[in-house]
A and B are shown apart, each in its own frame.
Chain A
Amino acid sequence: MDGIDTAVAIAAGTMRAGTPLVLAALGELITEKSGVLNLGIEGMMLVGAVSGFIVTVLTGSVYLGVCAAIIAGMLMSLIFGVLTLSMMTNQVASGLALTIFGVGLSAFMGINYVGTPIAGLKPIAIPVLSDVPVIGPVLFNQDLLVYASYLLFFAIAWFLYRTRWGLILRAVGETHDAAHAIGHPVILIRYLAVMFGGAMAGLSGAYLSLVYTPQWAENMSAGRGWIALALVVFATWRPGRVLLGAYLFGGITILSLHVQALGYNVSSHLIATLPYLATIVVLVIISRDITKIKLNAPASLGRPFHPTL
């Protein structure tokens, strides 16, 4: 029975390790589907993480902290939106700048909070469902943000492929000139998509600093923002594959921790690279159908939109 318990523990850990990626990557998915490439996820996550942490320490409420993280992520993305959508700056350069800015700003904001202890979000077992063997403890004995990530996944998939606004969003991302000529507000839709991406990155940051490891450490996202970005591309802009990639990353992260605990004589730095490498390799292999890529990739991605007036 010991083996099953270990497996359940690993699976439950996988869900938690994958959740920040699910959140950030789904946000970026919406942003990119509208045709905007925001490379600033890492920066938005860090600012979200530190803002959520500070507000939690000051108010004593984790929930207020989560709200603060969402708002902080959104504000960061708004800076990016104003630069790229209103001032037509280059999206790649602006996104990189946003990340650099976010790394510095979060370190500055959190300087007095490094090592401050807080009580993070505790798991809430869902009655009945959590009693199901294996699946119960893995899926339904988690904290609120993990549950939120389930709901957000279904909501986003439904929004993109089942609603009129989802259709308009995809259309804007594919051919913005045509969308404009038909009369859809391209810039407005892109602002909303960018801000949703920012909010999700902020939430993802909050998960790191308030739930996953309830503390603030400089640069604590450790490249997860970049992995989220890669997930979206290698998952060929499909929500289901984003989810798969995120949990794959989470699973290998947890597994490599167990491998280290078993005391194999492999450099821990090398093992730490494994989740990044494996996730990308797997997604590249399952998503190499060029036709499918062309059908799902937003064709206007990264291209600035200049309406003719």
Chain B
Amino acid sequence: MADRQTPQLELSGITKAYPGTLANDNVDLTVLPGEIHALLGENGAGKSTLVKIIYGVVKADAGEMRWLGDRVTVNNPSEARALGIGMVFQHFNLFETLTVAENISLGLDEPHDIKTLSGEIITISERYGLPLNPARHVHALSVAERQRVEIIRCLVQNPKLLIMDEPTSVLTPQEVDSLFGTLRQLSKEGCSILYISHKLDEIQSLCDAATVLRMGKVTARCTPARETPRSLAEMMIGSALPTCKRASRAGKSETVFSLNGLSMVSSDPHGTDLKDITLELGRGEIVAIAGVTGNGQKEFLCALNGEQATADARMIEMLGEPIGKLGPKDRRMRGMAFVPEERLGRGAVPEMSLAMNALLTGYLRNLVRRGFTRTGHIRSFARDIREAFKVKAPDIDVEAKSLSGGNLQKFIIGREIMLDPKVLVLGFPTWGVDVGAAAAIHQAIIDLAARGTAILIVSEDLDELFEICDRIAVIAEGRLSPSKSTRTTNIEEVGMWMSGAFETGGHAHAS
């Protein structure tokens, strides 16, 4: 691929400004036919904006686009599809109440009937190893199956360029391998792939070329195979990858928190029921719950924080006391703290100031007296959080939603840590958080555990979990695998568990 070919896609000088930020600043990008090209960058570097411009969802302020050498303008996704551009979005654009075939049909421009389309879907799914039943409703599909719907929706149109926005963040390691197989097959058949990710190992194993974005600008172009993860990271974040320090823990400590056969029927008809979950947390221990999103994590977090009471109070015990029937406030008063999955809406009220958001759970810390709020205490509490956790915010009166994801998450986690909980439950703590903030959050979690807090982290980022946790278990279809020490298991085994391949019960407390 070293000879000079006409590029499949060539962007030059693409610029797009949003109020307050320059999402893309004079970006150039060249993708050759059949090439798997990585677009690498942190959250907020402008990758998604750039591909939305290519796909016609967003309009660029300036710059031009060439397709096989000809200048083109793409005003909407249908024009992009007519050129031969397909896109798989990070947040799937699927309709839950419709069938697979109907969903795929909605992405096509020319008239067709659902029956012939279903036949085509089956042909493509067999050819590329993407098993899928066109008659099923999307709400009944797993995340990996949903992604297949998105991919097949592109493939039925014979694309010349396939854009994949962070496709692996929701897949098990085995599913990632099979996706890469499909992508390599497509590339051999001459389809170019623009692959967006911030996962360095994936890019090294899959991609022929890479363009690195930082704060909206192209900071490097390289051949990933010739780089090291360290050098790629430096191009991406502008400095070396931060690492966490932690003291190794040995031996078993007293149990402070336990789940005893926790079962619960989901309140959402599209949700997952929890089935017989048993787990113990020791003092100062960090335990990971890995798993692909949609396997009961939402219900699990709801059960833990008390949004939904359990059938039997003894299903959840803290310091020997049954708490399964208590609401969130009573659990917090007993020394539990929670960091929910959704930062804006559950972790914080978007339109309220940081100070008021500090009060939301900080009321346990002497911030309220006889029903009246104590403004001075609240403000100093909020300021303490900002100082201690290095939250980048001009002051504590700005609205929560004006903070970047990483900074707001530091504030929320800081607020819970300041309460000095006995048990802390975190849902997806570094989702959509930049590398620097994620490292700071990891360090704060480790330090808290060192002070004796039992910590439970629900996440799908295996690298993160292996880095900071003592033990790991997997949630799959509402069941919990046995837990193992992170030192005696590995990503492959956990990956197997994530697809549901484990013995039920989960009673083992590996030591």
Query: Which residue numbers of A lie inside 8 Å of B, CB to CB?
Result: 164, 167-168, 170-171, 174-175, 177-184, 290-291, 294-296, 299, 308-309
Q: Are A167 and B58 in contact (CB under 8 A)?
A: no
The distance in angstroms between the C-alpha atoms of A170 and B137, with both chains bound, is: 14
* B451-468 near A? 1/0 per residue, CB < 8 Å: 000000000000000000
Contact A295 B97 (CB under 8 A): yes
Contact A181 B77 (CB under 8 A): yes
Q: Which residues of A contact B92 (CB under 8 A)?
A: 178
Q: State whether A171 touches B106 (Cβ < 8 A).
A: yes
Asked if residues A181 and B89 are in contact (CB atoms below 8 Å), the reply is yes
Taking a contact as CB atoms under 8 Å apart, the answer to whether A309 and B81 are in contact is: no
Whether the Cβ atoms of B95 and A178 lie closer than 8 Å is: yes
Does B111 lie at the interface of the complex (its beta carbon under 8 Å from any beta carbon of A)?
Answer: yes
Contacts of A174 in B (CB 8 A): 95-98
Q: Which residues does chain A contribute within 8 Å of B270, judged by CB atoms?
A: 294
Measured between beta carbons, the chain A residues less than 8 angstroms from B76 are 183
Q: What is the chain B residue whose CB lies nearest that of A181?
A: B93
CA A291 – CA B266 in complex, angstroms? 12
Which of B80, B89, B269 is close to A291, meaning CB atoms less than 8 Å apart? B269
Q: Given A167-B98, A174-B97, A294-B269, does the pair A183, B78 have CB atoms closer than 8 Å? A: yes
Q: What is the bound-complex CA distance between A296 and B59, given in angstroms?
A: 34
Contact with A along B13-28 (1 / 0, CB 8 A): 0000000000000000
Ordered by A's residue number, 28 sampled pairs between the chains whose C-beta atoms are within 8 Å are A164-B105, A164-B111, A167-B98, A167-B102, A167-B106, A170-B95, A171-B98, A171-B106, A174-B96, A177-B93, A178-B92, A178-B93, A178-B95, A179-B106, A181-B77, A183-B80, A183-B81, A184-B106, A290-B269, A291-B269, A294-B270, A295-B97, A295-B137, A295-B139, A296-B97, A299-B97, A308-B52, A309-B58
Chain B residues near A181 (CB-CB < 8 A): 57, 77, 89, 93
Please report the C-alpha to C-alpha distance between residue A178 and residue B153 in the assembled complex, in whole angstroms. 13
Q: Which chain A residues border B78 with CB–CB below 8 Å? A: 183
**Interface 1/0 per residue, B260-275 and A, CB below 8 Å:** 0000000001100000
**Distance between Cα atoms of A180 and B91 in the complex (Å):** 13
Residues of B within 8 A of A180 (CB): 57
Inter-chain contact B105/A182, CB cutoff 8 Å: no
A174 CA to B98 CA, complexed, in Å:
10
Question: Taking the complex as formed, is B94 at the interface, i.e. its CB lies under 8 A from any CB of chain A?
Answer: yes
Residue of B93, B102, B139 with highest tally of chain A CB at under 10 A: B93
Task: Give the interface SS of chain A, mostly helix, strand, loop or mixed.
Answer: helix
Chain B, interface SS category: loop
- In the bound complex, how far is the Cα of B72 from the Cα of A89, in angstroms? 36
- Alpha-carbon distance A183/B105, docked complex (angstroms): 12
Given the complex of chains A and B, what is the CA–CA distance between A308 and B52 in angstroms? Answer: 10
Partner of B77 from the list A167, A182, A291, A299 (CB cut-off 8 Å) is: A182
Give the size range of B's interface with the partner: 20 to 34
Instruction: Say whether B106 contacts A309, CB under 8 Å.
Output: no
What's the nearest-Cβ distance from chain A to residue B264, in Å?
Answer: 16
With A181-B57, A183-B76, A308-B52 already in contact, 16 other A-B pairs whose C-beta atoms are closer than 8 Å: A164-B105, A167-B98, A168-B106, A171-B98, A174-B95, A174-B97, A175-B94, A180-B57, A181-B77, A182-B93, A183-B80, A183-B81, A290-B269, A291-B269, A295-B97, A299-B96
B56 contacts partner chain A, Cβ-Cβ < 8 Å: yes
> Separation in Å of the A187 CB from the closest CB of chain B?
13
Cα–Cα distance between A170 and B76 once the two chains are bound (Å): 21
Is A167's CB under 8 angstroms from B105's CB? yes
A183 touches B56 (CB 8 A): yes
In the complex, are the beta carbons of A308 and B58 less than 8 A apart? Answer: yes
Task: Pick the 3 closest A-B CB pairs, nearest first.
Answer: A183-B77, A178-B93, A291-B269
Please pick, from A164, A182, A291, A309, the residue contacting B59 in the complex, using a CB distance under 8 A. Answer: A309
Which residue of the partner chain B has the closest CB to A183?
A: B77
Question: Scoring B residues 119 to 162 as 1 if CB is less than 8 Å from chain A, else 0, what string do you get?
Answer: 00000000000000000010100000000000000000000000
B109 contacts across to A, CB distance below 8 A = 183
Distance in angstroms between the alpha carbons of A138 and B256 in the assembled complex: 73
What residues on B are CB-neighbors of A177 within 8 Å? 93
* Known contacts A291-B269, A308-B57; A182 and B97 CB within 8 A of each other: no
Evaluate contact between B95 and A175: CB separation under 8 angstroms: yes
Cα(A183)–Cα(B97), bound, Å: 19
Task: Enumerate chain A residues within 8 angstroms of B93, measured Cβ to Cβ.
Answer: 175, 177-179, 181-182
- With both chains docked as a complex, state the minimum distance between the C-beta of B113 and any C-beta of chain A, in angstroms: 9
Q: Mark B68-92, 1 if CB is under 8 A from A, else 0.
A: 0000000011101100000001001
Distance in Å: Cβ of A173 to nearest Cβ of chain B? 10
A183 and B83 CA atoms in complex are apart in Å by 14
Task: With CB as the reference atom, state the residue of chain B lying closest to A296.
Answer: B97
Which residues of chain A are near B98, meaning CB under 8 Å?
167, 170-171, 174
| A182–B269 touching, CB < 8 Å | no
- B282: Cβ under 8 A from any A Cβ: no
Chain A neighbourhood of B107, CB < 8 A? 182
Please give me the residue from chain A that is nearest to B112 by CB atom. A164
In angstroms, Cα B89 to Cα A177, docked, is: 12
State the Cβ distance, B188 to closest chain A Cβ, in Å: 28
A179 to B78 CA separation, bound complex (whole angstroms): 12
Q: What 0/1 readout, one digit per residue, does chain B (40-75) give for beta carbons within 8 Å of chain A?
A: 000000000000100011110000000000000000
In the complex, chain B residues whose CB is within 8 Å of the CB of A309: 58-59
Residues of A near B139 (CB, < 8 A) are 295
Q: What is the distance, in angstroms, from A110's C-beta to the closest C-beta of chain B?
A: 43
Residues of A contacting B94 with CB < 8 Å?
175, 178
Complex CA gap A223/B300 in Å reads 46
Chain B residues with CB below 8 A from A164, complex form: 105, 111
**How many Å from the CB of B78 to the closest CB on chain A?**
4
List CB contacts (< 8 Å) of B239-296 with chain A: 269-270
Nearest-Cβ distance from residue B375 to partner chain A, whole angstroms: 32
Q: Which chain B positions have C-beta within 8 A of A170?
A: 95, 97-98
Contacts of A291 in B (CB 8 A): 269
Contact of B106 with A182 in the complex, beta carbons under 8 Å: yes
Minimum distance in angstroms from A231 CB to a CB of chain B: 21
Q: Which residues of the other chain, A, contact B111 by a CB distance below 8 angstroms? A: 164
CB nearest to A309 among chain B residues: B59
A179 to B103, CA, bound (A): 10
Find chain B residues with CB under 8 A from A171 CB.
95, 98, 106
Once the chains are docked, how many angstroms separate the CA of A302 from the CA of B109? 28
Q: Which residue of A lies closest to B139 (CB)?
A: A295
Residues of A within 8 A of B77 (CB): 181-183
- The docked-state distance in angstroms from the alpha carbon of A183 to that of B77 is 5
Could you tell me the distance in whole angstroms from the C-beta of A35 to the nearest C-beta in chain B? 12
Q: Closest CB-CB distance, A169 to chain B, in whole Å? A: 11
User: How far, in whole Å, are A178 and B59 apart by their CA atoms in the complex?
Assistant: 17
- Considering the chains assembled together, what is the distance between the CA atoms of A181 and B269 in angstroms? 26
Give the residue name and chain of the A residue nearest to B269 (CB). A291
Interface centre among B56, B109, B269 (most CB of A within 10 A): B269
Q: Nearest chain-A residue to B79 (Cβ)?
A: A183
On chain A, the residues within 8 Å of B80 by CB distance are 183
| Closest partner residue, chain A, to B49 (CB atom) | A308
B268 to chain A, nearest CB (A): 8
CB distance from A2 to the nearest CB of B (A): 50
**Measured between alpha carbons, how far is A181 from B137 in the docked complex, in Å?**
20
Interchain CA distance A291-B97 in the complex, whole Å: 11
Contacts of A290 in B (CB 8 A): 269
